[in-house]
Each structure stands twice: as structure tokens, then as C-alpha cells.
Structure 1
Amino acid sequence: MDHIRTELLDVAFESGGPRDGRPILLLHGWPDDATAWRGITPVLEREGYRWVGPWLRGFGPTRFHAADTPRDGTGVALARDALDLMDALGWDRCAVVGHDWGGRVAYILATLAPERVSSVTSLAIGYAPRGRFATPLFEQSRRWWYQWFMTTEGGAAAVRDDPDGFARIQWDTWGPTHWFDDAALGAVAGSFRNPDWAAVTLHGYRSRWRPEELDPRYAPLRKAVDATELLLVPTLMIQGGADRCDPPEETEGQERYFPSGYVRVVLDGVGHFPAREAPGAVAGSIIAHLDRASVRPVWDGRPRRGG
């Protein structure tokens, strides 16, 4: 584990691969941590990639410098963290792979700084045009019970009191469970004991569905996301066919938002944590996507001719 300092954070991260390799940023999801990528990073290294996988704000050993920094858990705040990390690493441009929260951050990075993102891979999370969250239909609302639960004061208190137990429910119900045991979940649960995990988690979800105070430093970035519908970066979406949080039907028909190319892969029998459940299939899909993206011209926004 290494640490690097940005304006707001002391960021803990894992890394590997040749120092001069092609850079790739791995952004974990919720409730998870940076160890989620350990099954795929050996493949990235064999293919010559220099990968960095940070613990997001509020997770594991990553810490805020100042007690008075708002614990903003929105995707825009996390995307700014990712850009700050890239700056600290000296990366002008990289591929981005994100799961769950990290997938949402990857989409936002492609919105805010497409010139710095060579490709996007999102695991389990579809794209939300303009960053907007629409109240879903009954079935999906039932799957998202945990989000509504956190908007209540009693629910928020329960999350603060028992972060491990709350996370365990998601791991137990978001897909098949044969791929993990108590030891595996226990190792990740340490990341939920970060003193800011509950605050960042609660803000990230509550701000989707009710008014919450937002860190004003990100106001221009929020405005840019709200004005953007098309993503100009080649994108791969990897979906678990047995995902019981965000099932495949929730991510169908999004090709129109990606004029520079979009591929969607559905993995049969895989739940909400594809990189942990099927690392070989995920790694193979990512490498194929990175190869495609390296030879595909990025759309410049001008109308295409023909076709």
C-alpha cells in the first residue's frame, strides 16, 4: 500500500505493473474497497499496464486532511478526487475502470475531462445522462430499499452504529454468494470502519433523493454534468446477469449516449460484484476493450456523414 497527498485527501492506494506502462485507474464500488481488483490486476500487468487502485474518500486508510471539509459523497466530488489523484501521479491521460460508485465516477470523468480519459469501463452501473436520478418503477425501488432506508434518521443511525452489518446485507442479497466467505467479507469490512465512511455513504445516497448540503467547491462541475448527455469516450459496460441490485434490464438500450463506441457484456450467473465473482472474464473483456479503444478515433462532436 502507498499513500499520496492531494489538496483534500491523503489517498491510500495499491499499484502494480511496469512504471512506464500504459496507465489505468481502478475505482472500487460500494460497499467494497480497493482490494476488489486483485483478481484482475495480474492480467493488466502481463499486458503492460501500470495500474493504480485507490481507496475512495471515506474508505479504508484514505483520510481527509481537515475536519471541516464537507464529507460530500456525490459522484462529482469523487470524480474531482480522481482528477486530483491523476495530477499527483503525473498522469495526463489514462483508462478508467470503475465498479458501482467507481463506475459512476468513470462516467463523470468522461463528462468533465474527456481529453484525460482514453476509455471507460463500468461494472454493474449504467449511465445516468446529466447525472440525474429518476425515481424508478416499483420493482427497482424495492431493490433499492437500502437507499430509502438511509434517507430516514433512524436508518442513518443504524448505518452509523453497524456499518459492517449493513454492508453484509448487500453482499448477501445482490447476487450469488458462493464466491465469498466470512473471512473475505471481514477483510473488506475494515474499510467501512474509516471514521468518515458513514458520513460519505449517507451523503452520497441521501443527496440523490432529498435536499442535502453540497460542497460548494464542486458547483461548476455539477453544472457541467447537468449540461452533458453524450459521452465522447469509448465505453464498455460489464453487467452481471444475476445482479439483484441493478439487473440487466436496467442497463439496456444506452448505446445512443456513446457516439465514440459502446459495448455491453452480460456475464451469466454473476451478481453485482463482477471483478470479484468472475475476474477472468472481466479481465478479458477489459483488455479487449482497451485494445479496441487504442485504435478507435474519438468522436469530435461534429455530425457524422453517411450511414
Structure 2
Amino acid sequence: MHALTPLRSVEAGRLAISYHEAGPADGPPVFLMHGFPYDIHAFAEVIPRLAEAGCRVVVPYLRGFGSTRFLDASTPRSGEQAALGADLLALMDALNIPRAVLAGYDWGGRACCVVAALWPERCAGLVSYNNYNIFNHARALEPDTPANELKLWYQYYFQSERGREGLRRNRRALARLLWETWSPTWVFDDATFERTAPAFDNPDFADVVIHSYRHRFNLVPGDPAYAAIEQQLAAQPAIAVPTISFDGADDGVRPPAPASAHAARFTGGRDHRVVPGAGHNLPQEKPALFAEAVLELVRRG
């Protein structure tokens, strides 16, 4: 259960992005993107599988996580989906990687979907957890079923100043509670959680998280720097690259959806799979399965 080291850092867009890299420098590139409230260690058992298969594997800390930092104190601490996608694109540019397989879940999966939809020439293939993971702001205030609304308690909590302060004070306890409820069949030990928990000590963590969940309900403005991207995403653009999408059968926050529910959003060929015994953190719960999906797309070229 060792921490992923060494870490590298590169200036990319508005961030100094901290990332782990493995595998041959001339191998087919793969970006692995973590979610909230997780970190790069979600891919600890995926990375060696891909590296051993000859892939160049890049695993960054998202904005607000780990040792990734904003370059300018005046930059808004936005957590909106356009910012996450722009960060991934900027990292690809900074590393001079023109095209890669993009794989992620939760926030990281959303970043991958944004790049795949808006810059398909940069995406050789997409592994997306929870299907089409671009948020539809036009439907943000439409109620869900009571059972599904209950699962989103943390999002409503974060709309209040009580929730902001609760996240600041209790970030580790809150994250662990979400791990347990979102992946009810995943048995992890203290050491596994404690390997990730320092990622939440980032000084921008709470601000980025709170903005993310308030912005998705249209309750706070986005960063004007990403307004053009958000406008494009509002059209719910199709993803025209080869895709493997997943849902976990035991996901405690996003119930599995049939392939037909998102079929119109994928125009480049897509295989949807529901994984028995998996919750929300698929790469850490089922690393061999996640790695094999990535390699399927790498082999397609």
C-alpha cells in the first residue's frame, strides 16, 4: 500500500499540475482521471497493468487536490465541468501529447467526456464511468425520485455555509462516509483511506468542491474564462470517439442506467457494461477490469 511516487509537476493553463507518470515515454499515452472525494491512488493497481503493457500512463491530481496548485492567487477557485476539461486539455498540451486514451470516473470522468466531446481529435478512446458524464445545467433543478434525492444529500449540504464549514472542518470524515455509502460492497482498510486522505489537505480543496456543487445547480456564476466552453457543453454535444462506458451495479450515488438511456450521446461506437459487485470507485474496486477496458481502446489505435 505504498504512495505513488515520484510526482512530477508542470505548468498547464492556470495550474501547476502534479502528476504521477509510469511506463515507456514512447508508449501509447493514457490519462487516468480521478474523482471526488478520491485521488490518484484510485488507480494504484491500474497503473502497473497499463505500464507493463507498454502504455505511457499519466495520472494527475485534479485542481483542489493533492499537490496541484493554482498559479495565481486571484484565479477563481472554480470546480465547474468546463474548468476540469480545460485543465486536462492544458495538461496534454504541456506534455506535448497530441492524442491519448482518456479514462476516468466522477469529476475525472467528466473531464474526459468534455475533452472527448469538444476536442475529439485529442481523444483516441474514452473510458467513462456513469455513461455520458457531461452535466446538463438546463435540467439542474428538475427533481429526481425521492430515493435518488436522498443519495445527493451532500450536494444540498454544500449549498449552505454550514456545509462549507462542515467540509472545511471534517473533510476526511466526510470523504470516508461518502466512500462507504457510495461503494457499500467495497471493503477497504484504514491504510487505503489514509493513503488518499492527504489529498484533501490542499488549501483550495473546500473552495473548489463548494463551487462545483453550487455551480451545477446554477446558484453561483462560473469562471468567465470558461464561459465559451460551458456554452458549448450546454448543447449536450455528442461524443464521437470509441467509448467503453461503465456503471457499478452497487453504486450508492448514481444508480446504473441502461445503455439506451445515453445511446444518442455516443456516435463513435460505444460498449456499455454494468459491473456486478462494484460501487462508485470502479478503478480501485475492480482494477483489472478497468485496466482491460483501457487496453481494449489502446489496441484499437
Normalization by structure 2: what TM-score? 0.92
Alpha-carbon RMSD = 1.7
Per mean C-alpha deviation after superposition, the further-off stretch among 193-202 and 2-11 is 2-11
Is 1:164–2:172 an aligned residue pair?
Answer: yes
**8 Å contact kept, 1:104–1:125:** no
The unaligned stretches of length 5 or more in structure 2 are 1-6
In 2, the alpha carbon distance for the partners of 1:26 and 1:132 equals 29
The one-letter code sitting in structure 2 at the alignment partner of 1:98 is G
In structure 2, the residue matched to 1:18 is 24
In 2, the alpha carbon distance for the partners of 1:167 and 1:252 equals 32
**8 Å contact kept, 1:40–1:275:** yes
In 2, the alpha carbon distance for the partners of 1:186 and 1:20 equals 33
In 1, the alpha carbon distance for the partners of 2:39 and 2:188 equals 15
In structure 2, the residue matched to 1:90 is 96
Following TM superposition, by how much is the alpha carbon of 1:252 offset from its aligned partner in structure 2, in angstroms?
5.4
The one-letter code sitting in structure 1 at the alignment partner of 2:62 is L
In 2, the alpha carbon distance for the partners of 1:251 and 1:131 equals 22
Per mean C-alpha deviation after superposition, the further-off stretch among 221-230 and 39-48 is 221-230
In structure 2, the residue matched to 1:305 is none
Is 1:103–2:146 an aligned residue pair?
Answer: no
5 Å matches for 1:1-307?
1-124=7-130, 126-128=132-134, 133-134=139-140, 135=142, 136-176=144-184, 178-249=186-257, 253-292=261-300, 294=301
> After superposition, what is the alpha-carbon deviation per residue over 1:97-119, rounded to whole angstroms, capped at 9, x for unaligned?
01110111111111221111111
- Residues 154, 129 of structure 1: CA spacing in aligned structure 2 closer, same or farther, 3 A cutoff? closer
> After superposition, what is the alpha-carbon deviation per residue over 1:228-287, rounded to whole angstroms, capped at 9, x for unaligned?
432111111122111111121377521221111111111111111111111112212222
The one-letter code sitting in structure 1 at the alignment partner of 2:8 is D
Aligned length: 293
| Identity score, percent | 35
Following TM superposition, by how much is the alpha carbon of 1:127 offset from its aligned partner in structure 2, in angstroms?
3.1
In 2, the alpha carbon distance for the partners of 1:255 and 1:291 equals 23
**8 Å contact kept, 1:126–1:251:** no
In 2, the alpha carbon distance for the partners of 1:99 and 1:265 equals 14
The one-letter code sitting in structure 2 at the alignment partner of 1:231 is I
Q: Secondary structure at the match of 1:147?
A: helix
**8 Å contact kept, 1:124–1:273:** no
Normalization by structure 1: what TM-score? 0.90
- Residues 29, 252 of structure 1: CA spacing in aligned structure 2 closer, same or farther, 3 A cutoff? farther
